[in-house]
Amino acid sequence: MIKNILEKALRDLLPELYQMKPGLCHCKQCEDDVLALALKVLPPKYVSREEGEVYARIELESPQFQVDMLEALLLAAEKVIAHPRCGSGQGKNVNPGENVGEADKKEKNGAKE
Ligand SMILES: [Zn+2]
């Protein structure tokens, strides 16, 4: 079984990211978008065995790589904040349920005033 342990490492940094980017929407869609964008710019860390995972984790835990991951997450967060696919708007108070079915239409126009 092969897995990219980078994904979990990025997930572990999400609480930190939300603190640094209070405008970032907390919904599952935006969380996944941030992770996907960050994963795209970072080199993947695939492991196939327990042993490999230990070595890869040592690399992931290095201060330099932590910084790289956080930078990638911050960039990704800015993109998602500018264009949230869930249609939540930029930190506005949105009535839950109000935008159901409107998210797609709002993607390009009218999302920001
Ligand atoms: Zn969202």
Predicted model pTM: 0.73
Residue 105: its pLDDT value, please?
A: 45
Residue 34: its pLDDT value, please?
A: 98
| Apex 80 CA angle, 74 and 84, nearest 5 | 155
Q: How far is the CA of 88 from the centre of ligand 1 (A)?
A: 6
Q: How far is the CA of 64 from the centre of ligand 1 (A)?
A: 29
Rounded CA-CA distance 34/31 in Å is 5
Q: How far is the CA of 54 from the centre of ligand 1 (A)?
A: 34
**Three-class secondary structure assignment of 2-70:** CEEHHHHHHHHHHHHHHHHCCCCCCCHHHHHHHHHHHHHHCCCCEECCHHHHHHHHHHHCCHHHHHHHH
Q: How far is the CA of 53 from the centre of ligand 1 (A)?
A: 32
Q: How far is the CA of 79 from the centre of ligand 1 (A)?
A: 12
Task: State pLDDT tens for residues 40-83.
Answer: 999 999 998 888 888 888 889 999 999 999 999 999 999 999 99
Q: Helix (H, G, I), strand (E, B), or coil: what is residue 41? A: helix
